[in-house]
Amino acid sequence: MNTKAPLLEVEGLHVAYGKAEVVHGVDLQVQAGEFVVLLGRNGAGKSTILHAVSGLIPKRAGRVRFGGRDVSQSSPRDIVRAGLVQVLEGHRVFGTLTVEDNLAIGTYASARRSDAAQLERMYDLFPELAARRYLPASKLSGGQQQILAVAQGVIASPKLLILDEPSSGLAPLVVDRILAVAAELCAGGMAVLLVEQLVEKALRHAHRCCLIETGRIVAEGSAQELRGSDVLERVYLGSHTAA
Ligand SMILES: Nc1ncnc2c1ncn2[C@@H]1O[C@H](COP(=O)(O)OP(=O)(O)OP(=O)(O)O)[C@@H](O)[C@H]1O
Ligand SMILES: [Mg+2]
């Protein structure tokens, strides 16, 4: 039993778009160095939870603590500076900028300045970026752009990296690679909160999983516990997500 205060602690989170509430009281914790996966069907509210945690959309109610500090009312910029970085769904990189300039943007988010050592660390982790550092990002394949988006998040050495469906639209090998790098960084002490539709791939790396259904956490446990549970089958019944 881990008795340390969690790195991320979400309590009683409610989020609405206009009058329509889509997240109905979510409690979620991530410990330092932990790999947590959020699973759930399309529209379950996974991205909404992540956006609210990162301060990108308002919360109707609830509290978010990060690194022992209440960040419920903090700006996205302050949350990033506290060490919580989210890689958004889709390959959001700046196509006209070079790979290296895109990476440099990632360092602006951190309190630290961009320096050569940070860039070299990314090129060691992601050799496919090293080979293309002076190319405009638009010349990269979809998979390479997603790797760049992840590197852009990782370069600031966050305490918690949030990845929202990094696999979407990518070849299985690229997905494996992104998840393996996330797991490796996690072993080095960074916590990961991952939303993923490829259930089996995500469970392979997870220390803990939370199952979301229509804005609520309906089950939580280790990968092994969830694999054997009826609730996982129920949530994904009829969907083509196992891989
Ligand atoms: N900007 C928005 N305005 C209004 N409703 C929204 C908005 N974004 C999401 N929703 C609705 O909120 C609910 C939760 O959406 P959300 O994007 O959080 O789900 P998700 O679990 O991330 O789904 P997916 O797996 O498709 O990414 C859905 O019913 C969705 O239609
Ligand atoms: Mg989503």
Give, using CA atoms, the residue closest to atom 24 of ligand 1: 42
In this structure, the strands spanning 8-17 and 20-30 are antiparallel
Mutate to test the pocket of ligand 1, among 14, 22, 23, 88 (most ligand atoms within 8 A of CB): 22
Mutate to test the pocket of ligand 1, among 24, 26, 48, 240 (most ligand atoms within 8 A of CB): 48
CA of 48 to the centre of ligand 1 (A): 6
> Which ligand gives the minimal distance to the CA of 48?
1
CA of 92 to the centre of ligand 1 (A): 18
Three-state SS at 137: helix
Contacting residues for 186 by C-beta, under 8 A, at least 6 apart? 33, 34, 35, 192, 205
Domain borders along the chain are: 1-83+159-236, 93-157
Q: What is the pLDDT of residue 223?
A: 87
Give, using CA atoms, the residue closest to atom 14 of ligand 1: 45
CA of 11 to the centre of ligand 1 (A): 20
From CA 119, how far away is CA 209, in angstroms rounded? Answer: 32
Q: What is the pLDDT of residue 233?
A: 80
Mutate to test the pocket of ligand 1, among 13, 14, 15, 47 (most ligand atoms within 8 A of CB): 47
Give, using CA atoms, the residue closest to atom 4 of ligand 1: 17
Which pLDDT tens digit goes with each residue over 170-195? Answer: 888 888 989 999 999 999 999 999 99
Q: What is the pLDDT of residue 239?
A: 52
CA atoms within 13 A on the CB side of 136: 6
> Which ligand gives the minimal distance to the CA of 49?
1
Q: What is the pLDDT of residue 37?
A: 96
CA of 193 to the centre of ligand 1 (A): 18
Domain 1-83+159-236 is classified in which CATH homologous superfamily? P-loop containing nucleotide triphosphate hydrolases (3.40.50.300)
Q: What is the pLDDT of residue 198?
A: 86
Please tell me the pTM assigned to this model. 0.92
> Which ligand gives the minimal distance to the CA of 38?
1
Q: What is the pLDDT of residue 173?
A: 86
Task: Give pLDDT < 50 ranges for the chain.
Answer: 238, 240, 242
From CA 67, how far away is CA 230, in angstroms rounded? Answer: 35
CB 25 within 8 A of CB 14: yes
Q: What is the pLDDT of residue 59?
A: 97
Site residues for ligand 1, CB cut-off 6 Å: 17, 22, 40, 42-48
CB atoms within 10 A of CB 73: 11
Nearest CA among 196, 193, 160, 155 for reference residue 176: 196
Q: What is the pLDDT of residue 5?
A: 87
